[in-house]
Amino acid sequence: MKQLRINVIGAGHWGPNVIGSLNSLPEVEVLTVCDLDEEALEKIRQRFPTVETSTAPQAVLSDSRVQAICIATPVSTHFELAKAALANGKHVFVEKPLCETSAECLILEQEATRRNLLVMVGHVFLFNPSILKVKEIIQSGDLGKIFYLEAHRTNLGPVRQDVNAIWDLTSHDISIFNFLLDAEPLSASAVGSKALDGQVEDTTFATFRYPDSILAHAHASWLNPKKVRQITIVGERKMLTWDDIDITHPIRIYDSKVTLGSHYSDTFATHRMNYHRGDVIMPQVEGGEPLKNECRAFVESILNETSALSDGIFGRKVVEALEATDRSLESNGSFIKISP
């Protein structure tokens, strides 16, 4: 008998990937997949013939045979589904972002604590071996003091109507920034364009101010000819680039820096700086598939009764930053303070 039985709500774009990763874990049995779309459920039945299907979310949430619920539905549904799952005594995994508002996130967080249940958010890049390696490099001090981070996350689609590009794409980068820096942003600024439908920002530029005067910038777009998933980190001693699409060498460390010259010069503007360009190191990265790592972490947290890396608190902090970008978009890019 499996140690953990799980029901999944959401069989659309991302749900089947979650189901596949959970099913690959020896401790887990996915009992039922729920969706309102019969066509999506038919695809699930063909791909996972042993899994039950349902169009009744309340029955799936209250299923006494399972200990946990995974939610992979639009963000507008997350709060009510997660709250109902907790009320039925289930541990909950929710795809990112956790909720539409930080107030809703806090309610789930408090309810989970009260019931001694786990809420985990699907910030999958926290379980990406290359991002874990980047954090290890930062913590080693090899880069020196971090000056700034810059992220680019673009592609030609897929276009969404329920959230803007920041909530869809930059939410990944906020989670990465917070994880790498062990901090949350103090304020946020954002501007964007609504070129496609005039309703939702399809291209955005967001800047976050972190403690220790660290800046983090994120460009996101569904309207770009090139698929890009990159982050640059500039430190006092060295610089680093991360490329999620480069599966062979996703990380490159540049022995590059600029320092102030110590000699006197009367041409102040051009001769005060010393430029150092050294070797480029490409460290080896190993550690498995991120989504499977994430699902395994959820299962292990339940079985071992330990907190999750991307728990409800972490998810709420990401949503607080997203809310600040919404307010900044409404105020033409003004920096909006994020309450601690």
CATH architecture under which domain 4-123+290-309 falls: 3-Layer(aba) Sandwich (3.40)
User: Which two structure tokens, joined as six digits, stand for 49?
Assistant: 């013939």
Q: Residue 271: what pLDDT?
A: 59
pLDDT band at 267 (very low <50, low <70, confident <90, very high): low
**Span(s) in the chain for CATH 3.40.50.720:** 4-123+290-309
Higher pLDDT, 112 or 259: 112
CA 300/CA 220 separation, integer angstroms: 33
CA 94/CA 79 separation, integer angstroms: 9
What is the value of pTM for the model shown?
A: 0.95
CA 336/CA 27 separation, integer angstroms: 45
Which helix (H) or strand (E) is 228 found in, with range?
Answer: strand 223-235
pLDDT band at 12 (very low <50, low <70, confident <90, very high): very high
User: How buried is 14 (Cβ within 10 angstroms: 0-12 exposed, 13-18 middle, 19+ buried)?
Assistant: middle
Topology of domain 126-288+321-337, CATH? Dihydrodipicolinate Reductase; domain 2 (3.30.360)
Q: Residue 97: what pLDDT?
A: 98
Closest CA to 244 of 308, 178, 183, 176: 176
CA distances from 44 to 74, 158, 292, 336, 337 (A): 18, 22, 18, 43, 44
CA distances from 185 to 166, 182, 230, 286 (A): 15, 10, 20, 30
CA 76/CA 316 separation, integer angstroms: 15
Average pLDDT over residues 259-270: 60
Mean pLDDT of the chain: 95
Residue 23 has, within 13 A of its CA and on its CB side, a CA count of 17
Amino acid symbol at 246:
D
User: Which two structure tokens, joined as six digits, stand for 268?
Assistant: 């102040």
Long-range contacts (CB closer than 8 Å, 24 or more residues apart) made by 300-308:
301/118, 301/120, 302/4, 302/67, 302/68, 302/91, 302/118, 303/3, 303/4, 303/27, 307/118, 308/118, 308/119, 308/120
pLDDT band at 257 (very low <50, low <70, confident <90, very high): confident
Above 90 in pLDDT, residue 77? Answer: yes
Q: Residue 287: what pLDDT?
A: 86
